[in-house]
Structure 1
Amino acid sequence: MNNNIENATNSHDNNNKQSTSNLILRIDNVTRSYSRGFGRKKTTRQVLHNVSFDIHSGEIFCLLGPNGAGKTTTVKIVGTLLAPDSGSVRIASIDAVSNPREARKHVSLLLGGERGFYQKLSALDNLRYFADLSAVPYREQGKRIHDALEQVDLLDKAHDAVQTFSRGMWQRLHIARSLVARTDLMLLDEPTTGLDPENARKVREIIHALRDQGIAILLTTHEMSEAEKLADTVAVINHGNIIAQGSVAQLASLQHIDHVTMYAYDGELSSGTPSVKEELQKLDGVLWCDVFESHGVLNITIAWSKTLSQERNIKIPVDGITRLGDRAASLEETYLAIVQNDNISASNTSTSSAATPSSSSSSLSLNK
């Protein structure tokens, strides 16, 4: 997988004509472990394994992964809240491990929600306070704060107490805080989680505008559609390893996903949905399969391998299955294929056997 990561990264760099001149963040072979207990009961768990990636100015880099994969630890290390066990982190050419105080001048960590603000103070007073902390010259504070509030559409709320704000307004105020400091890199942790569609759209528009202004953005999210709408580059992290990296199209290509086909099955369901999925997963060329039932009909989505790219009219030998059509793989489908394949590769015989479809009889008769 490392060669695939390198190929995707190189392609991304070449396509965007990026160079080290606008390199904002470089993480190189970062590892991190956590220890629990004392003495003989002390245990150590490594949560990051040689993590490496670059982010350039004007790039939205999205870190995707299941819970416990290492996303938050990575963000905390970049934000200088944690030090790595080994490896290097450079922010705007500054060694963030040996000189975290200087590196912090170039990075903003946005955790979201009401955290980080004085609730009884106005938005204006909060931003003035953080401008002082960021050593923004007093004569520049007024204009910077005005421009920041205007950009995040909170200028008319400047004198309102932060405790009266909605979650969406808090998120935008966090971004305004970073704009006042004028950092080169923003770390956005789940920036639209819990927002209504209108506020989520506003935050996405602001993030795109920040990218257009040349700010580098490291984004974490569980929302695949969010990453698909925002990210220039996506890195999938699992078990502390970056297992795939590139644009959405590049990730699908690395997984050898040619296309996705949708089917409907209205046959007998006596063996249950899981059995149907297991049997379909056995078919040659099936990379990933999803099955759900609605009104007595199974809706089936199959991601096909590129090895079948010339066989667009492949038939599933099951009575009652209707082919609904083909489309390109979504980021969610690509992500599931990546993580599923990585989990299978990383597992031992016991885990693999548990994931292998059983040989028990099924209501589906699959002729292979």
Structure 2
Amino acid sequence: MNVEEGEIHGLLGPNGAGKTTLVKVLSTVLLPTSGTASVLGFDVVRDTNRVRQMIGVVLGGDRGVYWRLTGRENLEYWSALYKVPARTAKRRVTELLRMVGLADRADHLVEGYSRGMKQRLHLARGLVGDPQVLFLDEPTSGMDPVAALEFRRLVTDLRAQGKTILLTTHDMAEAEAVCDRVTLIDRGKILAVETPNSLGRMVAQFERIDFQGGTDDLLQILASVPGVASAKLMPDGRHRVELESESASRQVLEVLVSAGVSAINTSRPSLEEVYLHVIGNRTE
């Protein structure tokens, strides 16, 4: 597995797949039992201190920030641990609080913060040392939709600043929205490494076309179009045409319009569909 410089890379998999374990190995929290891993060319076992100087880690949850301190005091404390000079730390803390949208609550106790605010403070804490690589473990878990959307905006802004980000998530929409590439893992093994759009071709090679109405004869006609993989009736009453050639799309649409079909929708498989297709709903 390789994460390119300057990308947001999503790590997807069911509970127990090894996502958090991998993050902890790469961030030097856990020693690997076998194999090798490096960050920016430095081995996580032999060059532990060099790796730690270049990374930030956001594990989230209730740990890692102090509830009886203010947001500002938390970041000042972590700046001291990172040995950031006092004058630089003061400016840096103010910038981080503004960046994560906590400037107006900077001097309030963290115990009064919402879940989303605490998670943004976690992100600011992970950026105190101005890391080149940032590890985010389930960063929006437990957030309401508005807070999660704002957090994703912050993450994409960090990519624009040149940060490299490895993000673990259960949220397929999140991975699809922010990740340049995603890695699917299960039981510690890599199943696929692709862009979200490319992964969709593991389910359907190209786009698919859904429509309402039509007859069995129309489905037979569509199935005979070169480049059509299948034409079928779905359980919810829709008809679906799956393509295996980009060139088939126009001809299929022409057939549908000629048949008087107007309720037509074209799409590609979502990342969630790919996830379920590749990993499955395993319960063992």
Asked whether the two chains share a fold, i.e. TM above 0.5, the reply is yes
Asked if 1:141 is matched to 2:89, the reply is yes
For 1:156, the aligned partner's letter is D
Q: Which residue does the alignment assign to 2:138? A: 190
For 1:214, the aligned partner's letter is G
Q: Decide which of 164, 188, 200 is 1:252's aligned counterpart.
A: 200
Asked if 1:75 is matched to 2:9, the reply is no
Cα RMSD after superposing both structures: 3.0
Q: Which residue does the alignment assign to 2:242? A: 304
Asked if 1:64 is matched to 2:64, the reply is no
Q: Decide which of 253, 267, 270 is 1:327's aligned counterpart.
A: 267
The SS at the match of 1:304 is strand
For 1:118, the aligned partner's letter is Y
**Which piece of structure 1 moves more, 149-158 or 108-117?**
108-117
For 1:306, the aligned partner's letter is E
Q: Decide which of 77, 99, 103 is 1:151's aligned counterpart.
A: 99
1:218: Cα distance to partner? 0.5
- Preserved contact between residue 8 and residue 166 of structure 2 (Cα < 8 Å): yes
Q: Which residue does the alignment assign to 2:111? A: 163
State the structure with bigger RCO (CA 8 A, min sep 6), 1 or 2: 2
Render the CA deviation track for 1:45-92: whole Å, top value 9, x for unaligned.
xxxxxxx22231x21000111222221111111111111122222212
Asked if 1:90 is matched to 2:28, the reply is no
The SS at the match of 1:116 is coil
Render the CA deviation track for 1:204-224: whole Å, top value 9, x for unaligned.
111011111111110011111
1:304: Cα distance to partner? 3.4
In 1, Cα distance between equivalents of 2:239 and 2:9: 28
The SS at the match of 1:113 is coil
TM-score, normalisation: structure 2: 0.80
**1:201-280 → structure 2 map (5 Å cutoff):** 201-262=149-210
The SS at the match of 1:147 is helix
1:225: Cα distance to partner? 0.8
Q: Which residue does the alignment assign to 2:260? A: none
Q: Decide which of 89, 105, 108 is 2:56's aligned counterpart.
A: 108
In 1, Cα distance between equivalents of 2:41 and 2:79: 23
Q: Which ranges of structure 1 fall in alignment gaps of 5 or more residues?
A: 1-51, 266-283, 292-297, 315-322, 344-350, 352-368
Q: How many residues align?
A: 259
1:299: Cα distance to partner? 5.5
- Preserved contact between residue 100 and residue 120 of structure 2 (Cα < 8 Å): yes
Change (3 A) 1:166 1:261: same
In 1, Cα distance between equivalents of 2:8 and 2:133: 10
Q: Which residue does the alignment assign to 1:121? A: 69
For 2:29, the aligned partner's letter is L
For 1:338, the aligned partner's letter is V
1:133: Cα distance to partner? 1.1
Q: Which residue does the alignment assign to 1:55? A: 4
In 2, Cα distance between equivalents of 1:62 and 1:94: 21
Change (3 A) 1:230 1:299: farther
Change (3 A) 1:131 1:113: same
Asked if 1:178 is matched to 2:126, the reply is yes
Change (3 A) 1:195 1:290: farther
1:231: Cα distance to partner? 0.3
The SS at the match of 2:60 is coil
Change (3 A) 1:240 1:264: farther
For 1:119, the aligned partner's letter is W
Change (3 A) 1:119 1:224: same
Give the structure with the larger strand fraction.
1
For 1:125, the aligned partner's letter is E
Render the CA deviation track for 1:245-295: whole Å, top value 9, x for unaligned.
121122223555323344679xxxxxxxxxxxxxxxxxx956xx985xxxx
